[in-house]
Structure 1
Amino acid sequence: MSESSAAAYHLLSTVRRDVQLLDVSWNTDAHAGAPSPYLLLAYHRDRLTEAARIHKWSVPSNLTLSDLEELCNDALRAGSAGPQIETGDSHRIRILLSHTGALSVTASPTAPLPLPDPMAPSLWLPSTSDPDPPYSGFEALVIHVDRVPTPSSIFTRTKTTRREHYTAARDRFNIPPPPTATLLEVLLYNEDGIITETSIRNIAFVRRSPPRWVTPSASTGCLTGVIRRWLLEQGRVVEASDGELTRTDIVDGEYVLTFNGVEGCRFGRIRLTE
């Protein structure tokens, strides 16, 4: 890819900042043992570093955990037009990395976490006595299955500002662009009919016996998100085997688990009819 082409987009990571996370032990563990209001910030740092390697871009010297946290704090101060950070507020932090290695960070308000632990929904699995998920603070998403495949590429495997393929999928179902709040989502699959992700979230389906949350394999070309990584490390989800999650195996009305770096985990339900 030429330098002019690389200059047309940035690598991207979007992080939640929420004071509630200061009391979440697993988030502290993931932040070098220090309490942090940023959701898995070290994982975002790792993802940006890996994406830069994949795109053959420079990794800036200030892409350390402490420096990245300070850049996020600076963005919050700039947004509040004052030196004090409003620690009670919830924010969506957008981190951009250019092909030259330049980092830029902006902050915008977002809704507070509905649960003290944003990963709690991942602990539920359906059973005969408990077929419907508990209320997680979020209403369940309505997830349509896209009409056409989204081919796998470097722009599906890494998160960038080149998002035309995601926008096109959302447009086919009249879903407004993020960060507009909506309960509608669209499920994507690759050229081989293998499920990959949704337009702004990773996803897992209940499969196997005994039941497990099963998420598409990285080999599908899906985005390997930060919450996905944590859930896999904790054994709360497992990667699908070859052919385990295909478009033709989807069941109308089945519950799914979705996850991203701003919401954490939430439930959705497949809708095959439009």
Structure 2
Amino acid sequence: MSQVEGGANADRQWVRIDETIPKWGLVSRPLTTLRERELVVDPAGDDEGSGTADDPLATIQEAFNRLPVFVQHDTTIRVRPGTYTDEDPAIHTGPLVQKAQSTLRLLGDPDDPERVAVGSGINSTYAGKQSHYSIEGVAFDGLSQFAGPVDLRDCVLHGNGDAAISGKNGRVFAKRCRIGSPDDRYAIWSTLMESYGLVNCHLTASEAAIRANGPGTHRLSGSCSVDAPTAFDADSGSMILDGEDLYVGGRRYTPD
């Protein structure tokens, strides 16, 4: 913690948190939200702007940089259609903690996510309820979900050559998403207690749709489709539920 802003006459003191974000350097973030908020991002915007509809930001990263550590009010980052090329090497959400009654949405175009083309991945660290933190209608290179949940809806994750989704100790629920490409080894590469729930998703990969290193649980609804030589490549500690079938360590489990 670096400083406390505001004097005796201030409406409320703000404790700010300093953290270093790759490429963007030192970022000073407030501790908590004070009210509901919407930030608007547009490729033609300016990161020095206010983030309103009339004065949008230029990058999603800047929108996350302006979020506090504790999100206690409904918050939306509204991403307008366009091509976002200045988010490399990846968008970092920063550590976020969300109160159960609030929502945090990164909202693009759910009807046509390819219209919101983000030329990088997103690294997400989050604590809260899965359904209260959502990414909707955005096309990313990929998602690295560490230490927390995220709800993906109507998204496209193209992959980075290794995988489209990866992470450690995270929980991902995806619905109506296209995950991976023929250029990726895996659509999902899971390590260290990852948990996935997939509904109406399509997974594409050159080796295996899901690669699981270490214990974790992956649930696929019967409506998911896979375009890969192998559906599951998993260590002995992993479990995958695909409809009525249970796979342990990548092999279909048959009771004795």
Q: What is the TM-score when the length of structure 1 is the normalising length? A: 0.23
Q: Computing the radius of gyration over CA atoms, which structure comes out larger, 1 or 2?
A: 2
Higher relative contact order (CA 8 A, sep 6+): 1
Kindly indicate which of the two structures has a greater share of residues assigned to strand: 2
Kindly indicate which of the two structures has a greater share of residues assigned to helix: 1
Q: What is the TM-score when the length of structure 2 is the normalising length? A: 0.24
